Amino acid sequence: MEITATKGQIIKGKPVADQISETLIKEVNELVKEGINPKLAILRVGANGSDLAYERGALKRCESTGIQTQVVELPEDVTQEEYVKTLKGLNEDTNINGILCFRPLPKQLDEEAIKYIIAPEKDVDSFSPINSAKVMEGDKTGFPPCTPTAVVEILKHYNVALSGSKVAVLGRSMVVGKPAAMLLLNENATVTICHSRTKDLAKVTSEADVLVAAVGRAKMVKEDFVKEGAVVIDVGINVDEEGKLCGDVDTDAVLDKVSMITPVPAGVGSVTTSILAKHVVKACKLQNNK
Amino acid sequence: MEITATKGQIIKGKPVADQISETLIKEVNELVKEGINPKLAILRVGANGSDLAYERGALKRCESTGIQTQVVELPEDVTQEEYVKTLKGLNEDTNINGILCFRPLPKQLDEEAIKYIIAPEKDVDSFSPINSAKVMEGDKTGFPPCTPTAVVEILKHYNVALSGSKVAVLGRSMVVGKPAAMLLLNENATVTICHSRTKDLAKVTSEADVLVAAVGRAKMVKEDFVKEGAVVIDVGINVDEEGKLCGDVDTDAVLDKVSMITPVPAGVGSVTTSILAKHVVKACKLQNNK
């Protein structure tokens, strides 16, 4: 279905998530028929609010698509030895196909060491350097981080042309900016990576057909940052001066100028757990040579 | 020393290589005094001309900086088992600090498997995915590929401002384009990655303060591809219609427009073996906790 890009169209994440879920339900059904039960393990230290909120969403998504789950909670003061032992247990457990480790880890844990321990083939949110390398190589057997993958899925769902088009990625984190740039490059976009040191930032981003904002600064993308008719994907989740959730883009200010823009909330964030579930099924299939 | 950028300055690789060598000689001397002898192993299959040419350059560079070397030549029809056994032997040999595996490997060898076998801490030319991931992360303990590292060294040697400047990388290979983009991003440049699918390519590259050409197409970068006063790094090594070596840039056509440009030959290619030697010394130091 070709979607006509009218001016200022708010493109929500839910239809994208729903479509992914629909496909996953069928795939999981097929696997279950063959006696294979895709399963995600979540490894969480302590119980902070944002981890718990994401976990609830992930568990709900898995349940609705037929993916089994197991949550392992470790105490806030867990030792490196205990964390590693638990993670290795999940690596070795053949019933588990995907592992999500909540990060950042508390200070007593050596994240730099732990990222080498998670089994790359179960690493559904790109904690392992092997998966970072695969993102850069464009190796489809890997697992890119869920958020930038959600960005690409949204763009594809709404039929945004990527091949040959100019994409600006604002932000260069390992969680969003850099992998988003690599994934969009794999879609044959001409990608510019902008950041805090970029000179004439608004001029640079306003030349892009597609702008992906992932800097974590409330409403910093104003009208002069966007090209007439551009598609804007707002990855930021911030709190504005009134205490309300908002993105990196000043949506009201750009709405009349852009062709499409994702809202915050109900945009990119609504798709990430679908990508997580999709990665669990992909991992399960790869592990079972499907 | 500030170098004044006059118009059309040809910037050669040799002064950069010489400066790196000078530093390395001192570093190697210090190590040798402590009884530590940095050593590079080269693993080569068969004896094709371009491998041998690069090998001669590498051996000469190592010799002149005091780095020991060992060349292992395997027959053209070597089996996977034999290659892996040899590579593992080099991994385990504590006298060897750096390993260079010539690639591409012959068809009977599974390069995708072998790249996971080379010890990342000895992998001085970024064969291992661990080093690809470190390039993307900006982790300074890793070993980026020698060629894009040479590009950055040349730019720094000639005092080209990178922070905040617009850099266009033409080409997206894992050997040059993508790692060059990541290394330049780490220098706080605003990086655009262009390629065969880029629309209005000349327009995009002509907006860059620095253009890195790495596509492998003889003289494809013409006058309209470059900005007035731009710095151009020509990574290509091609043969023109007269059978002469040339780069990706039509040097004669752009010379009056650019501020600086590397020649081909005698440009980037003259610096890569210095980077290789530098990586061997770095690997040696890391392995000895120096």
Q: Which residue has the tokens 């040696």?
A: B284
CATH 3.40.50.720 positions along chain B are 146-270
Peptide bond into A129 cis (omega under 30): no
The CB density around residue A282, as the number of other CB atoms within 10 Å, is: 22
The nearest CA of chain B is from the CA of A57 a distance in Å of: 29
Residue B191 to residue A188, Cβ atoms within 8 A: no
Q: How far is Cα A225 from Cα A184, in angstroms, rounded to an integer?
A: 20
> Burial, B230: exposed, middle or buried (Cβ in 10 Å; 0-12, 13-18, 19+)?
buried
Q: B204 at the A interface (CB within 8 A)? A: yes
CATH 3.50.50.60 fits B146-270, yes or no: no
pLDDT of residue A1: 45
Largest Cα–Cα separation, chain A = 57
Q: B107 at the A interface (CB within 8 A)? A: no
**Which among A136, A194, A198 has CB closest to B178?**
A136
Q: How far is Cα B47 from Cα B53, in angstroms, rounded to an integer?
A: 10
CATH 3.40.50.1820 fits B36-119, yes or no: no
**Which among B129, B190, B192 has CB closest to A130?**
B129
**C-beta of residue A247 within 8 angstroms of C-beta of residue A234:** yes
Q: Which residue has the tokens 């002064």?
A: B15
Q: A190 at the B interface (CB within 8 A)? A: yes
Interface A-B, measured as beta-carbon pairs within 8 A, has a size of 86
CATH 3.40.50.10860 positions along chain B are 36-119
Residue B204 to residue A190, Cβ atoms within 8 A: yes
Q: How far is Cα B281 from Cα B38, in angstroms, rounded to an integer?
A: 6
Structure tokens at A161: 């042309």
**Could you give the percent of chain A with pLDDT greater than 70?**
98
Q: Which residues pair with B71 in a beta bridge?
A: B42
Residues with Cβ < 8 Å from A252, sequence gap 6 or more? none
Q: How far is Cα A210 from Cα A98, in angstroms, rounded to an integer?
A: 32
* Binding-site positions of A: 171-173, 237
**Which among B137, B164, B191 has CB closest to A132?**
B137
Q: How far is Cα A182 from Cα A199, in angstroms, rounded to an integer?
A: 22
pLDDT of residue A6: 66
Interstrand relation of B166-170 and B190-194 (parallel, antiparallel or unpaired): parallel
**C-beta of residue B203 within 8 angstroms of C-beta of residue B225:** no
Q: A210 at the B interface (CB within 8 A)? A: no
**C-beta of residue A213 within 8 angstroms of C-beta of residue A234:** yes
Q: Looking at this predicted complex, what is its ipTM?
A: 0.95
Class of domain A146-269: alpha beta
State the alpha helices, DSSP H only, in B158-206: 177-186, 201-205
**C-beta of residue A281 within 8 angstroms of C-beta of residue A71:** no
pLDDT (average), residues A228-247: 95
- For the four alpha carbons of A243, A247, A248 and A251, in that order, the dihedral sign comes to negative
Q: How far is Cα B153 from Cα B189, in angstroms, rounded to an integer?
A: 14
Among B178, B190, B201, B206, which would you mutate to test the A interface (most chain A Cβ atoms within 10 Å of its Cβ)? Answer: B190
Q: A166 at the B interface (CB within 8 A)? A: yes
Residue B210's closest CA among B240, B183, B237, B174? B183
Q: A84 at the B interface (CB within 8 A)? A: no
> Which residue is closest to B175 within chain A, CA to CA?
A137
Does pLDDT of A235 surpass 90? Answer: yes
Residue B163 to residue A197, Cβ atoms within 8 A: yes
Q: How far is Cα A200 from Cα B278, in angstroms, rounded to an integer?
A: 36
Per-residue confidence in pLDDT tens, chain B, 290 aa:
445 556 899 999 999 999 999 999 999 999 999 999 999 999 999 999 999 999 999 999 999 999 999 999 999 999 999 999 999 999 999 999 999 999 999 999 999 999 999 999 999 999 999 999 999 999 999 999 999 999 999 999 999 999 999 999 999 999 999 999 999 999 999 999 999 999 999 999 999 999 999 999 999 999 999 999 999 999 999 999 999 999 999 999 999 999 999 999 999 999 999 999 999 999 999 999 99
CATH 3.40.50.10860 positions along chain A are 35-122
Residue B130 to residue A135, Cβ atoms within 8 A: no
Does pLDDT of A217 surpass 50? Answer: yes
Residue B136 to residue A137, Cβ atoms within 8 A: no
Among B115, B126, B132, B139, which would you mutate to test the A interface (most chain A Cβ atoms within 10 Å of its Cβ)? Answer: B132
Q: How far is Cα B49 from Cα B64, in angstroms, rounded to an integer?
A: 23
Largest Cα–Cα separation, chain B = 57
CATH 3.40.50.720 positions along chain A are 146-269
Pick the CATH number of A35-122 from 2.40.10.10, 3.20.20.100, 3.40.50.10860, 2.40.30.10: 3.40.50.10860
The mean predicted confidence, pLDDT, of chain A is 96
Q: A89 at the B interface (CB within 8 A)? A: no
> Which residue is closest to A170 within chain B, CA to CA?
B190
SS (HEC) of chain A: CCCCCCCCEECCCHHHHHHHHHHHHHHHHHHHHCCCCCEEEEEEECCCHHHHHHHHHHHHHHHHHCCEEEEEEECCCCCHHHHHHHHHHHHHCCCCCEEEECCCCCCCCCHHHHCCCCCHHHECCCCCHHHHHHHHHCCCCCCCCHHHHHHHHHHHHCCCCCCCCEEEEECCCCCCHHHHHHHHHHCCCEEEEECCCCCCHHHHHCCCCEEEECCCCCCCECHHHCCCCCEEEECCCEECCCCCEECCECHHHHCCCCCEECCCCCCCHHHHHHHHHHHHHHHHHHHCCC
Q: B165 at the A interface (CB within 8 A)? A: yes
Q: How far is Cα A138 from Cα A141, in angstroms, rounded to an integer?
A: 9
pLDDT of residue A72: 98
pLDDT of residue A7: 81
